[in-house]
């Protein structure tokens, strides 16, 4: 299965409540699934989807 990534952007900071720096530090430390390619930080799309699912289910409960 191919792993998809998306750039660290403002929507991610809204979803996670973390700053871009906190997200990139997490990727660098290995606590957030992602990579750095050609100077751009990318986070795993499946991780983002998981965060959205958690936030959505939390609001509905």
Mean pLDDT for 1-22 is: 85
The predicted model scores a pTM of 0.75
The parent domain of residue 46 ranges over 5-60
- 10 falls in which pLDDT band (50, 70, 90)? confident
3-state helix, strand, coil in the chain (%, to 5): 55, 20, 25
Distance CA 13, CA 43 (A): 12
| pLDDT tier, 60 (very low <50, low <70, confident <90, very high otherwise) | low
Query: By the 8 A CB rule, do 23 and 41 touch?
Result: yes
Give how many domains the chain has, as a whole number.
Answer: 1
Nearest to 24 by CA among 42, 2, 11: 42
């Amino acid at each position: 299965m191919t792993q998809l990534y998306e750039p660290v952007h403002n929507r991610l900071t809204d979803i996670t409540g973390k700053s871009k720096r906190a997200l990139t530090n997490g990727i660098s430390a290995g606590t957030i699934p992602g990579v750095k390619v050609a100077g751009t930080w990318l986070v795993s799309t499946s991780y983002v989807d998981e965060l959205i699912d958690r936030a959505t289910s939390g609001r509905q409960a």
